[in-house]
Structure 1
């Protein structure tokens, strides 16, 4: 008798995916840059580097090396600004809860894989009462390297007990999509932050979760079984002179 196949797993990025918050993240970075006397365009910077931990993003905007302790202080300042700006705006991406409920009923494993730290994760998913839908939550504190490295999604797969080829990642960022491919997973992207043409090879590009059902996810996974090879060009994280 053939073995019963393992269930599929859905792994969700947080910022820009389960919440549409990139504009607020960019505003917080821009206020920090103004305070530091930097002219970097924060929105363009995030279009390219969104998905990385804030300290790693900040490391790219200085022409000289900055000590890690100082970068952490800048990141904490940016986090405070972001929370003040986003405090009354916290809400899920349209259709998320209904999709999570349907996916769980259909037998999917569900996880969160983000570059945010534990307190920032809680600031979103506990406020929105979403933690109960996730079998596993993996954040910045659980891995050595953030996106576009594969660590976040590899760790999530292991904790779920589901092999990468049966995991589907939801992302809004170029580096997040690349992290999924490096982990051997396929990806669906959202246009909360970028245009469809900015991504490499997602199974689908959606505006929000009202456009998707668990049956459609299974159909896509079975129709496109191969994982794209990650693009070295898209995974570059250098400062883009923005």
Structure 2
């Protein structure tokens, strides 16, 4: 792979770098209990995971809730999540080895997440992963979160790589759609959603022991066209929000 025209790998964080969806769901469920809500948090996240927490919370109330109150609820959920996940923080199997091999192979590497700087520090700095990323983009760097393309478009721009040469790693339906809206191809991890729920990933993996940089190059060369976002999937999951 010539350095003059490299590919880039862009990673979501939750459910990709770490297998934490069940802890996220538990934190939401505890918050819902305190608020007297009966929403099933795990089902909710399977549909809306990838959106900022305030946007997810906005969907569970019958009447509009002020933005400031939603932010307070999101902070409470974040505290619950960190408490639950504190001693469970570990990278997805095979991640560090894969990232090192990808850098050696010449890939540019970016992180594009809907979480804020404090949250990603809690994960990637604790696990000593920041050194692998050329660029880190958070919710604070974009105007609109997933399923909009902004997170991945900004990451690609900061990496200096054209969208068609970027491959996104996602675990969420909205994240996959955001990748396609950004003009990028996608590999998905089946850490929180069944493989058949996704639209058109190049490959479905359980973790990073299932893929190598060489295999990624083969996949990119065999499937050069980026899928168009699915209107049907959008209508089913999030278009009416």
Both structures adopt the same fold (TM-score exceeding 0.5): yes
Partner of 1:39: 38
Moved over 6 A (4+): none
Structure 2: state its 5+ residue gaps: none
Which digits, 9 at most, give the CA deviation of each residue in 1:161-191, with x for residues without a partner? 0000000000000000000000000000000
Give the deviation of 1:61 after TM superposition: 0.6
TM-score normalised by the chain length of structure 1: 0.96
Partner of 1:7: 6
User: How many Å separate the matches in 2 of 1:60 and 1:67?
Assistant: 13
User: How many Å separate the matches in 1 of 2:3 and 2:179?
Assistant: 25
Give the deviation of 1:237 after TM superposition: 1.9
The answer to whether the Cα contact below 8 Å between 1:181 and 1:227 also exists between their aligned partners in 2 is yes
Kindly report which structure 2 residues correspond to 1:25-174, keeping only aligned pairs within 5 A, or say none.
25-174=24-173
Cα RMSD of the aligned pairs, angstroms, is 1.3
Give the deviation of 1:234 after TM superposition: 2.2
Give the deviation of 1:45 after TM superposition: 0.2
The answer to whether the Cα contact below 8 Å between 2:3 and 2:106 also exists between their aligned partners in 1 is no
User: How many Å separate the matches in 2 of 1:78 and 1:239?
Assistant: 24
Pairs aligned (count): 238
Give the deviation of 1:158 after TM superposition: 0.3
Partner of 2:228: 229
User: How many Å separate the matches in 1 of 2:33 and 2:240?
Assistant: 18
The answer to whether the Cα contact below 8 Å between 1:54 and 1:75 also exists between their aligned partners in 2 is yes
User: How many Å separate the matches in 1 of 2:4 and 2:219?
Assistant: 17
User: How many Å separate the matches in 1 of 2:59 and 2:10?
Assistant: 27
Give the deviation of 1:233 after TM superposition: 2.9
User: How many Å separate the matches in 2 of 1:102 and 1:191?
Assistant: 22
TM-score normalised by the chain length of structure 2: 0.97
Structure 1 residues 232 and 97: CA distance shift in structure 2, 3 A: same
